[in-house]
Amino acid sequence: MMPPTNRLKMLAAGAFMIFAACHLTIANAADVYYSTEGTLNFEGEIRRGDAERVVVAALTAPTLIYEININSNGGDLAEAMRIVSLVKDAHWNIEVMGHGRVCVSACFFIFIAGERRSAGGTDGIAWPQEFWSIEPGVVGVHRPYLKDPLENPESPKNQEALMRKAREYLNEAGIAQYLVDEMMSRPSNDIYWLKRRDLEFVGTFSPGIEEALIANCGYKRSAQAVAERRNKETETQVNFCVAKFLGDRNFRIQKLYVAKLRSGWRPWKK
């Protein structure tokens, strides 16, 4: 069940303090490791080399990887985009699940790359209990920024170019314009924490997959299914269809993708 409002507010406040600290200190590289069947855990600041760490963890895992459970306050946006290329090509799911877990700043770019995205809102509006088996984490955004020193005369120009590229990616991902504007209006020391309504606009699935699931399984977004009071039998049938559709499709894709990675190919070297 979703945590109560005050608990989520404490979580968001605590995450902000951690986020601020990570900008003042040099953090270690992220810890990437096999967790449970089909899942990698990604813990920590995103730093140069983390995309390759994800590859190594995926190639040494005892099973095919289907999802990454991420807990990160952000970091290097260029490296985050390398991880994005992995996630999109491998059709991995991204989740922020577990007490105290957050996905902030550059991590958001990885979150929306997921074929399926799972996280909780910070407004304390609870989903029906059956939607979550464990407590969800939260997602926060602010504008991307460069760490160039202020005396660099090219910094303002480079900052503007970075924001343009970020907008292009967000638009291609189908992120609602109001949420893009909310992100870009927030300086790097101010986080907008996504509420349940925001996550509904982001969508549980990427747009292409969502339309395929609507056509093949009668899928509806969670809030819509709840509002229509779908009976449990119908919802079970839809969920089974979704799992089968994605499972059959992604098993083939991911086996081929692992073979490509083993050969030394990397999506960011295209």
The whole-number pLDDT of residue 156 equals 73
CA–CA dist 262, 5 (Å, integer) = 46
Q: Which contacts qualify for 182-189: CB closer than 8 Å, 24 or more apart?
A: 182/141, 183/108, 183/141, 183/142, 183/143, 184/143, 185/143, 186/141, 186/142, 186/143, 187/142, 187/143, 187/145, 188/23, 188/105, 188/142, 188/143, 188/145, 189/20, 189/23, 189/142
The whole-number pLDDT of residue 2 equals 40
How many other CB atoms are there within 10 angstroms of residue 261's CB atom? Answer: 18
- The class level of CATH for 5-203 reads alpha beta
Output the six-digit token pair for 144. 């991307």
Q: Give yes or no for a contact between 234 and 241, defined as CB atoms under 8 angstroms apart.
A: no
- Give the CA count within 13 Å in the CB-facing half-sphere of 259: 6
The whole-number pLDDT of residue 28 equals 62
How many other CB atoms are there within 10 angstroms of residue 179's CB atom? Answer: 20
Output the six-digit token pair for 102. 């957050």
The whole-number pLDDT of residue 7 equals 42
User: What is the residue-level pLDDT of the chain in tens, covering all 270 positions?
Assistant: 344 444 444 444 444 333 333 333 334 678 999 988 899 999 999 999 999 999 999 999 999 999 999 999 999 998 999 999 999 999 999 999 988 899 999 999 999 999 999 998 877 554 444 455 678 899 999 988 766 555 565 667 777 888 888 999 999 999 999 999 999 999 989 999 999 889 988 988 988 899 999 999 999 887 676 667 777 788 889 989 998 999 888 888 999 999 999 999 999 986
Whole-structure pTM value: 0.83
- DSSP three-state, residue 42: strand
The whole-number pLDDT of residue 160 equals 81
The whole-number pLDDT of residue 223 equals 66
Q: In whole angstroms, how large is the CA radius of gyration of the chain?
A: 18
